Amino acid sequence: MDMPLETQTQAPLVDAFGRTITYLRLSVTDRCDFRCVYCMSEHMTFLPKKDLLTLEELSRLCSAFMARGVRKIRLSGGEPLVRRGLLSFIEGLGAEVGSGLDEITLTTNGSQLGRFADDLYAAGVRRINVSLDTLDDAKFKDITRWGRLPQVLAGIDAALAAGLAVKINTVAVRGFNDTEIPSLIAWAHGREMDLTLIETMPMGDIEDDRFGQYLPLSDLRQTLEQHWTLTDLPDQTGGPARYVRAEQTGGRIGFITPLTHNFCESCNRIRVTCTGELYTCLGQPGSIDLRNPLRLSDDNALLHTAIDTAIADKPKGHDFRIQDGKMIGAMDRHMSVTGG
């Protein structure tokens, strides 16, 4: 799919706190072939298809953001690779890498990588994140409810064989994978994959107790220090992850700690849902609709006005925190809506 090019270069996206937005995380579907316990309820209701942006609308949107200085786009979901026709959309974006874009990447549960890894590489994708919380078959079934571990491991193999750099994302869940995390890291580093640990965040109703799942990564770091010498690395991403190198493996470990460490000062990102809602903060409720401006006119003037309004109001930061044994600042939307 060809990208609709905007001829005129528009003003960059700078918010009221002087942060320049260069990174778009785009959810291309709310659907998923898994039902991870911290992400969705088992009987999740999905949106009617007509509410979703079409692939053409997604392309127009990306092109408009690129004209405003967005240099990196990450596709997410739901599970991005279950969206029909996504590959041709990725090919369109991939053709922009090196000119309009620095990078196109995606976050996936890995289930469809066996089918798509080679095509993703051919389309210009070079790095992907794969979410994986355990290497134990039975536990994998417990946490994803519907997932099959061998399929995901085969998908990761296919991605590595295709030449994609793979980073593993692992949500740290108390009482579930805390004791397994050192061996998960050793496994990832043994295959030249970095691994980033994520604290559970209070996103959406999920039937389970959030605080029971919460494991502060500061505690986990102490455990990891019993296995490896960890050297802090300078922040190169401008993102929420802080990285260390495990000296004995040479691999990197990332920590995303929304609850114990606030990373908002350097935030360069925005999120758009699969229905075209622009969220300028993962942890705040406000959003601006971009679907109507997209559908009302072929001209992007309305769209840019809506984007400007949202950026001017980008909040200073989120309010997730732990207080009196409870998670505060919870959002009523699921992570699968904004794509994590």
Question: Interface with ligand SAM by CB under 6 A: which residues?
Answer: 32, 38-39, 76-77, 79, 107-109, 131, 169, 171, 198, 200-201, 203, 335-336, 339-340
Nearer to ligand SAM, 276 or 340 (CB): 340
200 touches, from ligand SF4, ligand SAM, none (C-beta below 5 to 8 Å by class): ligand SAM
**In this structure, are residues 283 and 335 in contact, taking their beta carbons and an 8 Å threshold?**
no
Residues 6 or more apart whose CB falls under 8 angstroms from that of 48 comprise none
Task: Give the CA angle between residues 88, 44, 129 to the nearest 5°.
Answer: 45
CA distance 87 to 213: 35
Task: Pick out residues in 168-197 that bind ligand SF4 (CB under 6 A).
Answer: none
Q: 36 vs 281, which CB is nearer to ligand SF4? A: 36
Indicate whether 224 belongs to the interface with ligand SF4 (CB under 6 A): no
Which residues lie below 8 Å from residue 44, measured CB to CB, with a gap of 6+?
A: 35, 334, 336
Q: Does 39 bind ligand SF4 (CB under 6 A)?
A: yes
- Is 132 strand, coil or helix? coil
In sequence order, which residues have a C-beta less than 8 Å from that of residue 16 and are 6 or more positions away?
312, 313, 314
Specify the residue, 32 or 244, whose C-beta has the smaller distance to ligand SAM. Answer: 32
Parallel/antiparallel/unpaired status of strands 288-289 and 277-279: antiparallel
| Binding partner selected for residue 35 from ligand SAM, ligand SF4, none, CB under the kind-specific 5 to 8 Å limit | ligand SF4
Q: Which partner from the list ligand SAM, ligand SF4, none does 203 bind, CB cut-off 5 to 8 Å by kind?
A: ligand SAM
Nearer to ligand SAM, 59 or 273 (CB): 273
How many Cα atoms within 13 Å fall on the side-chain side of residue 48? 2
Taking the complex as a whole, the smallest distance from the CB of residue 332 to ligand SF4 amounts, in Å, to: 16
Which residues between 67 and 86 bind ligand SF4 (CB under 6 A)?
A: 77-79
CB of 55 or CB of 215, closer to ligand SAM? 215
The number of residues that bind ligand SF4 (CB under 6 A) is: 12
Largest interatomic CA distance in the chain: 59
How near is the Cβ of 315 to ligand SAM at its closest, in Å?
19
Q: Residue 40 binds what, of ligand SF4, ligand SAM, none (CB under 5 to 8 Å, by partner type)?
A: ligand SF4
> How many H helices and E strands in the chain?
11, 14
Handedness of CA 250, 193, 34, 46 (dihedral sign): positive
Residues 104-133 that bind ligand SF4 (CB under 6 A): 109, 131
Q: In this structure, what token pair is assigned to residue 127?
A: 């790095």
Task: Kindly tell me which residue out of 21, 40, 149, 172 binds ligand SF4, with binding defined by CB under 6 A.
Answer: 40
CB-based contacts of 304-310 (< 8 A; 24+ apart in sequence): 304/10, 304/64, 304/68, 306/278, 307/13, 307/64, 307/65, 307/68, 307/278, 310/270, 310/278, 310/280
Spatial separation of the C-alpha atoms in residues 278 and 167, rounded to whole Å: 26
32 interacts with ligand SF4 by CB under 6 A:
yes
Question: Which of the choices ligand SF4, ligand SAM, none does residue 169 contact, using the CB cut-off of 5 to 8 A by kind?
Answer: ligand SAM
User: How many beta carbons lie within 10 A of that of residue 58, not counting itself?
Assistant: 25
Which residue lies nearer to ligand SF4 by CB, 39 or 58?
39
At closest approach, how far in Å is the CB of 338 from ligand SAM? 8
Smallest distance, ligand SF4 to C-beta of residue 155, A: 12
CB of residue 34 vs ligand SF4: minimum separation in angstroms?
A: 4
Judged by beta carbon, residue 63 or residue 131, the one nearer ligand SAM is: 131
Asked if 255 touches ligand SF4 (CB under 6 A), the answer is no
Give the binding site for ligand SF4 (CB under 6 A): 32, 34-36, 39-40, 77-79, 109, 131, 336
